[in-house]
A and B are shown apart, each in its own frame.
Chain A
Amino acid sequence: MARYVFLMYDAEDWYDTADEQGVADEMRLHEEFMAAVEAAGASVVGGEALERSSTASTVRRGESGALVTDGPFADTKEALGGFYVIDAPDLDAALRLAELCPAGNVEVRPVMDLPEG
C-alpha cells in the first residue's frame, strides 16, 4: 500500500449558502465516499474538513523573524477546504478514488516514505 493525501479545492460560496440540510447532504456524500474507499480495498487513514480560507493565518519565517499575515498562503479562487489521508495500492487506484471524492478539484499527493525510527 502507498499513502496519499487528497487535497480538496472548491469555490467557497458553499460556506455562505449551505443550510442545515446542505451540511447534512455534504456529510452524507463524504460518508459514501469513505465507504467506497473501503469497498475498493483501500482505506481512509485520516482527514478533516477545514474552516474557510479567510479564517487562515500564514506565518512567514524571514531573516528578521516570523511575520504573521491574515489569510491563506496562496489566495486562489478555489481554496483548500479539506483533506483525506488514504492508503491505496498504487496511483491508478488512488486516481480512481479521487474521481469519487466529493470535491470539484482533488490534488493527489504521495506521502513521503520515510525510514522508520
Chain B
Amino acid sequence: MDEVFRTAWPAVVASTARLTGDLDLAEDCAQEALERALRSWPAGEPDNRTGWLTTTAHRIALDRLRREATLRRKLPLLVEPAGEDGPGPTDPLRLVFTCCHPALAPESQVALTLRLVCGVDVPAIAAVLLSGEAGVARRITRAKQKIAAARIPFRVPDDDELPARLDAVLTVVHLVHTAGHRGSATALRDPDLTGRATELARMLVRLLPGEPEPRALLALVLLTEARGPARTDSAGDLVLLADQDRSRWDRALIHEGLTLAVSALRDGRRGRFALQAGIAGIHATARSWAETDWPKLVTTYEALMRVWPTPVVALNRTVARSRLEGADLRGALRELDALAPSLAGYPYLPVARADVLVRLDRPEEAAAAYDEALALTANPVERRFLIRRRTDLLPGA
C-alpha cells in the first residue's frame, strides 16, 4: 500500500463502518475499494483520492447490503451519540477507541488496530505479533464479533473516561512502533510499520489537540526514529546508543520531537509518555554518550517510575543510576538480580547485567550473561551484536 492508501484507509473504514453499522463489511469494502483503485487509477487518478475511495467503498457496501438483505441479521455497530448524521472527521478516532477498548484482550487490540486502522494484512500482522496467520485471523474475527454482540460503542469516550481510555490507545500505537523498531525476522527496522505508528500518532495529535499525551507519544516516536539511521553501521550491524555516530541522527526529526516533548511536559500532568519523551529528549540533545546528563536522566526515570511502575522502567532506572559518578555497581547488580523473576525471558535484563559485570571486571560472568541474552534473542542483527560483544570480552577463548 502506498502513502495515499495508508492515510486514506482509516477514514474509509471508519466512515463505511458508520454507514453500514458493520466493521466486518467495512473492512471488506475498504479492501475492495483499494483493489479497484489499484486497477483503475493508473489510467487517471481522481483529484480527491480519499473521497474516491470512500465513495467507492460506500457504493460496494450498499450493493452488498441490498443483495444480502435476506441473509443478514446482524447487530449493528452501536454509533454514539445517536442522531448525528453522516460520516464525520472524528470517525477514525471512534474507530481507534473501539479497536482499543479495554474489554478486548491487549493482543486483540493490537491486531484489530493494525487491520482496521492501519490496513495491514493478516500475514503481516502475524509476522509482527510472532504468531500464526490462522490464529491472528481468528483473533480479529472474534474481536469484531465481541464488539457487535457486547455492544462496544463506536464513539470517543467522555472527558471523565478519556485519560484511561486514551492510555490504552497510546499503548497500542507505541507497541506498533516498538514492533516496527525492533524489526521483523531479518532487518532491525520495519520502516512500513514505524511509518504507520507515526501516522497514527499524528492523527491522534490532530484529532485530540487538547491532550498532552498524544503529543508526547509522537515526540517519543520521532526522537526514536531520528536515531534510526545510526542504529546500524555500513555492514548492517547494530550500533548501541553509546557508540552511535550522532552526526547521522536526523536533526529535523529531533527538532520536531523536542518541540512536541517540551510542550507535552509543560502540561502539569506529566504522563508516562511525556516522561518517556523527556528521556528520549535527554539522549537526543547530548553531544556524546559521555556528555549525557545522567542526573537529569535518573530523576526523569524516577518520575516515570512514580506514574508507571513497571519492571522495565525499574531496569532502565537502575542502568541510568549505574552511570552516575561514583555509582554503586554492586548495588546495581543486586537491583538487576531482584528484577529477574518479573523480567524472565526479557533479553535486555541479561544485557544490562553483562554491562555492569564488564565494568566490575568480571568477564566470565558477563560472557555467561550474554549467552543468556542470546538464548532469548531471535533477531539476527541483535544476535550478531551479542556474539560480537561476547567474543570481544574473552579474546583468548
Contact = CB atoms under 8 A, between A and B. Distances in A.
Interface in A79-95: 89-92, 94-95
A115 B80 CA distance: 23
Nearest to A2: B151
B157 A92 contact: yes
B151 A90 contact: yes
User: Which size class do A's interface residues fall under?
Assistant: 10 to 19
Interface in A96-117: 108, 110, 112-113, 115
A91 B73 contact: no
Contacts of B152: 90-92
B161 interface: yes
Interface of chain B, helix or strand or loop or mixed?
Answer: loop
B41 to A, nearest CB: 39
Contacts of B103: 91, 95
A115 B73 contact: yes
B155 to A, nearest CB: 8
Contacts of B150: 91, 108, 110
Interface string B113-149: 0000000000000000000000000000000000001
A24 to B, nearest CB: 34
Contacts of A90: 78, 80, 151-153
A92 to B, nearest CB: 6
Given A90-B80, A90-B153, A108-B150, 13 more contacts: A2-B151, A90-B151, A90-B152, A91-B101, A91-B103, A91-B151, A91-B153, A92-B152, A95-B103, A110-B149, A110-B151, A113-B75, A115-B73
Interface of B: 73, 75, 78, 80, 101, 103, 149-153, 157, 161
The 5 A-B residue pairs with the shortest CB-CB distance, nearest first, are: A2-B151, A90-B153, A110-B150, A90-B151, A91-B150
27 contacts: A2-B78, A2-B151, A89-B80, A90-B78, A90-B80, A90-B151, A90-B152, A90-B153, A91-B101, A91-B103, A91-B150, A91-B151, A91-B152, A91-B153, A92-B152, A92-B153, A92-B157, A92-B161, A94-B151, A95-B103, A108-B150, A110-B149, A110-B150, A110-B151, A112-B149, A113-B75, A115-B73
